[in-house]
C-alpha cells in the first residue's frame, strides 16, 4: 500500500505537469472505485485550471479554480503515470485519464480498486469526512514528542497498531512503522501507553529520518509502486526488517528477523534489538 513517501513522490512528480495547467478533459472507464465518482465528474473538472497540489497523510489534494479540490487516495494498489507521447491504449485497470491542455495524460490505474477519487469544495476541506480526523503530519512542526506521547498514552494498543492509526500520526503504514520501530529499538509488541517522553522523542526523530530517506529514494517499490515516470523507488534496499523474516538481523547479527501478525497486518522485527 502506498504510504506517505510514495504519495509524496507522486505529488512531486505530478507538480510540474499539473500546476498552473488547464484540464481539457477527464475520461472515466467505470462508475467508481471504493466509492462512486461524483455526479458529472468529468464536466466539473474539464476546462478548470489547476492551482497547486498538496498532500495530507496518504491523500493527494489537487486544488483547482472555482474552489474545487480533487481528492485522490491510492488505496491498496493505486498507481499514477504521466504519459506524454505514444500514449498506450488503456488497459483493464486504467480507470481514469486526466488530460491537460498541454497534451499530457495523467492515468490512474488501480487493480484492486480500493482507491478514492472524489471532489470537494475548498472551504470544506478541513472538515471533510476523509480528512478531518487525520493526525499531525510527521514532517511538520505539529508532530513532536509531547503530542505523540499524549496520543500514544491515551490508547490501549500496541505501539505498532498505534502508529498505523492515521489519527495518531498521518501517513505511516506497515513498512515505515516496522522500519521506524526497528531503528528506535522499540518492540512492536510494547503497549503505546507505556511509551515515555524519551522514547517518544526518539520515535519522532527516527520517523522523520526514515520518511525523509524514503522520499529521497522515491519511495519503496515492492509490488506495484512506480514513480509517475515509470521509474522504481529504491528505499526497499535500505530496509532493516520489512519483508526480511528468516534473515539474520543485520544490526546485532545474533537472531533472525521475525514476522508476526498484529491486528491482521504483518510486523517484522528483531527480538534482540527491539525491547
For the bound state, the minimum distance from the C-beta of residue 242 to Zn ion, rounded and expressed in Å, comes to 14
Name the residue with cell 512492536: 188
- Site membership for Zn ion, residue 257 (CB under 5 A): no
What are φ and ψ of residue 76, in 5° steps? Answer: -85, -35
202 flagged as catalytic: no
Report in angstroms how near the CB of residue 260 gets to Zn ion at its nearest.
Answer: 15
Nearer to Zn ion among residue 117 and residue 257 (C-beta): 257
- 273 sits near Zn ion (criterion: CB under 5 A): yes
Give the count of alpha carbons within 13 A of 39, CB side only. 0
Tell me if 28 sits within 8 A of 42, measured CB to CB: yes
Q: How far apart are CA 32 and CA 28, in angstroms?
A: 8
**Residue closest to 210 by CA, chosen among 182, 243, 246, 245:** 182
Answer whether 56's CB lies under 8 Å from 170's CB: yes
Residue 249 C-beta: closest distance to Zn ion, Å? 3
Q: How far is the CB of 205 from Zn ion (least distance, A)?
A: 20
Spatial contact of 90 and 81, defined as CB atoms under 8 Å apart: no
| Active-site annotation holds for 58 | yes
Q: Which of 11, 56, 58, 160 is catalytic?
A: 58
270 binds Zn ion (CB under 5 A): yes
Task: Determine, following the binding rule CB under 5 A, whether residue 186 of this chain makes contact with Zn ion.
Answer: no
C-alpha distance across the termini of the chain, in Å: 27
Among the candidate windows 8-16, 55-63, 200-208, 267-275, which touches Zn ion by CB under 5 A?
Answer: 267-275
What are the backbone dihedrals phi and psi of residue 82, each rounded to the nearest 5 degrees, phi first?
Answer: -100, 120
Q: Examine the residue annotation and report whether 129 is marked as an active-site residue of this protein.
A: no
| Contact status: 275 vs Zn ion (CB under 5 A) | no
Catalytic residue among 2, 5, 138, 188: 2
Within 193-252, the residues that bind Zn ion by CB under 5 A are 249, 251-252
208 an active-site residue? no
Q: Binding residues for Zn ion, how many (CB under 5 A)?
A: 6
Q: Which are the catalytic amino acids?
A: 2-3, 58, 265
Amino acid at each position: 500500500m502506498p504510504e506517505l513517501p510514495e504519495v509524496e513522490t507522486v505529488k512531486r512528480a505530478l507538480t510540474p505537469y499539473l500546476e498552473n495547467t488547464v484540464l481539457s478533459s477527464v475520461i472515466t472507464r467505470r462508475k467508481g472505485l471504493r466509492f462512486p465518482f461524483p455526479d458529472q465528474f468529468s464536466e466539473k473538472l474539464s476546462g478548470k485550471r489547476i492551482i497547486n497540489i498538496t498532500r495530507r497523510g496518504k491523500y493527494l489534494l489537487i486544488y483547482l479554480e472555482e474552489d474545487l479540490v480533487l481528492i485522490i487516495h491510492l488505496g491498496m494498489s493505486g498507481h499514477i503515470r504521466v504519459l506524454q507521447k505514444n500514449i498506450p491504449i488503456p488497459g483493464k485497470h486504467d480507470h481514469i485519464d486526466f488530460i491537460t491542455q498541454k497534451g499530457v495524460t495523467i492515468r490512474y490505474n488501480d487493480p484492486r480498486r480500493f482507491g478514492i477519487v472524489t471532489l470537494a469544495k475548498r472551504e470544506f476541506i478541513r472538515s471533510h469526512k476523509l480528512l478531518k480526523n487525520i493526525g499531525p503530519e510527521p514532517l511538520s512542526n505539529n508532530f513532536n514528542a509531547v503530542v505523540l506521547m499524549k496520543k500514544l498514552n491515551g490508547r490501549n494498543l500496541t505501539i505498532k497498531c498505534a502508529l498505523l492509526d492515521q489519527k495518531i500520526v498521518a501517513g505511516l503504514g506497515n513498512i515505515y512503522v516496522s522500519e521506524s520501530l526497528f531503528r528506535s529499538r522499540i518492540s512492536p509488541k510494547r503497549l503505546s501507553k507505556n511509551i515515555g517522553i524519551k522514547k517518544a522523542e526518539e520515535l519522532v526523530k527516527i520517523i522523520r529520518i526514515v520518511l525523509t530517506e524514503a522520499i529521497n529514494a522515491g519511495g519503496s517499490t515492492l509490488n506495484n509502486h512506480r514513480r509517475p515516470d515509470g521509474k522504481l523507488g529504491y528505499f526497499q534496499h535500505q530496509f532493516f526488517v520489512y519483508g526480511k523474516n528468516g534473515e539474520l538481523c543485520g544490526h546485532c547479527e545474533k537472531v533472525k528477523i521475525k514476522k508476526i501478525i498484529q491486528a491482521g497486518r504483518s510486523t517484522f522485527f528483531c527480538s534482540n534489538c527491539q525491547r
